[in-house]
Amino acid sequence: MDKVANLLTRGVEQVLPEKSGLEKLMASKRIRVYLGVDPTGPRLHLGHTIPLRKLNEFAKVGHEAILLFGTGTVLAGDPSQRTRGRDKITQKEIDENIKTWKEQAGKVIDLSKVQIRQNGEWLLKLNLAEILEIASHISAFQLIKRDMFQKRNEAGDMVSTKETLYPLLQGYDSVAMDVDLEIGGTDQTFNMLIGRELQKKMKNREKYVLTTPLISGTDGQPMSKSSGNCIWLDDSAIDMFGKIMALADTQIVPYWQNLTSLPQDQIVKLKPLDAKKTLAFEIVKTYHGENQAKKAQEEFEQLFQKGGVSQSIPEIKIKEPSVELVDFLVENNLAPSKSEAKRLISSGAVEVDGQVISESEIEFTDNQVMRVGKHKFVRIKTE
């Protein structure tokens, strides 16, 4: 398969309006392509890397690639796949969230070949007349008829006008940067097609849309920041390896296909456990290097295949031996939320020295080993 065919096939859900038109355009000139990400949190997860990898592939073959931080659109709050409106975000939170984004994205994209921009550059400078001009090109009914808005209305959750305007703001990015192609997850299809329509009506030219698949998180549900089911790019090597090994076997192929460059025919030759190990090693190597990947695999095998507990598992130092367990799990990043911590405890997924803990309070002694879930271990050290 040649480079262009692979570029538009692997890790691609759909090309709109049609793949052949984009192929012809790419053959005729160096296109401008972008991916936008709103800074709703400080951490990027593996789901973010699917469109990031695709953006980098376009940059590698010589096209003009832009990674756009949505410092303007985030103020409106993307309603895509949301069961309720997003909380208001402050400028301080936006600045804090993007502080390490370039560093995190740099693990996936070649920063010497991909431009970093922020859409606050133009969106925050729009005056009323310009906003009304943009809005005049899109049907109001088109914006409010989305299924998720109807479901939220039926559930009694108000859909704010600013949420209905979000696709206009994202769509205007295509006009402001005069792009040929936008990349995004399938959850962004509606917003990206609004951008295509605006580009056609305001610039009288074509814009293509390339959607990338979404992947499931550690609980089998779509990976998202709000659910806490993420494999984060800044997870430790052993945590990342363990989370991948804990995935259901049905997730191996999507992860292999969308998160690695491993040959696709290799996976059919491997047993599920070996395929999952290969997958975990490859992903950890990408974000932590080969040495850390080897150590993570050794740690995993020591913990789960040889029945031992490694001496190098992370340590948590406590001043008081008696702790409230739910708060302890959340404060030490062993559970993403109090509700998840309670679920883990009630389901018997929290153990200390092999004993299931079901009490709300616990008193530790020095050097005890706590297991949370299937693959997360910490050593407790009392001061």
Q: Residue 264 is part of a domain; what is its CATH number?
A: 1.10.240.10
The whole-number mean pLDDT for each consecutive block of 10 residues of the chain, a chain of 383 residues, reads 79 95 94 94 92 96 96 84 65 88 92 95 96 92 77 74 88 97 94 95 96 91 82 90 88 94 88 90 95 90 62 78 88 84 85 81 85 80 81
Per the CB < 8 A criterion, the answer to whether 259 and 223 are in contact is no
What pLDDT does residue 382 have?
Answer: 82
**Of 281, 305, 329, which residue constitutes the final position of a domain?**
305
Rounded Cα distance, 253 and 231, in Å:
16
Domain that holds residue 365: 315-382
Residue type, 10: R
* Same-domain status, 141 and 206: yes
* Same-domain status, 80 and 197: yes
**Buried/exposed code over 355-367 (b: 16+ C-beta within 10 A; e: otherwise):** eebeeeebebeee
- The pTM of this model reads 0.79
* Same-domain status, 8 and 56: yes
**Of 257, 287, 305, which residue constitutes the final position of a domain?**
305
**Residue 218 forms part of a structural domain:** no
- For the chain, state the CA radius of gyration: 23
* Same-domain status, 241 and 372: no
Question: Looking at the 3D structure of the chain, how many domains does it have?
Answer: 3
**Buried/exposed code over 229-255 (b: 16+ C-beta within 10 A; e: otherwise):** bbbbbbbebbbbbbbbbbbeeebbeeb
* Same-domain status, 293 and 366: no
* Same-domain status, 177 and 284: no
* Same-domain status, 364 and 277: no
Cβ atoms within 10 Å, residue 170: 29
**Residue 228 forms part of a structural domain:** no
What pLDDT does residue 18 have?
Answer: 94
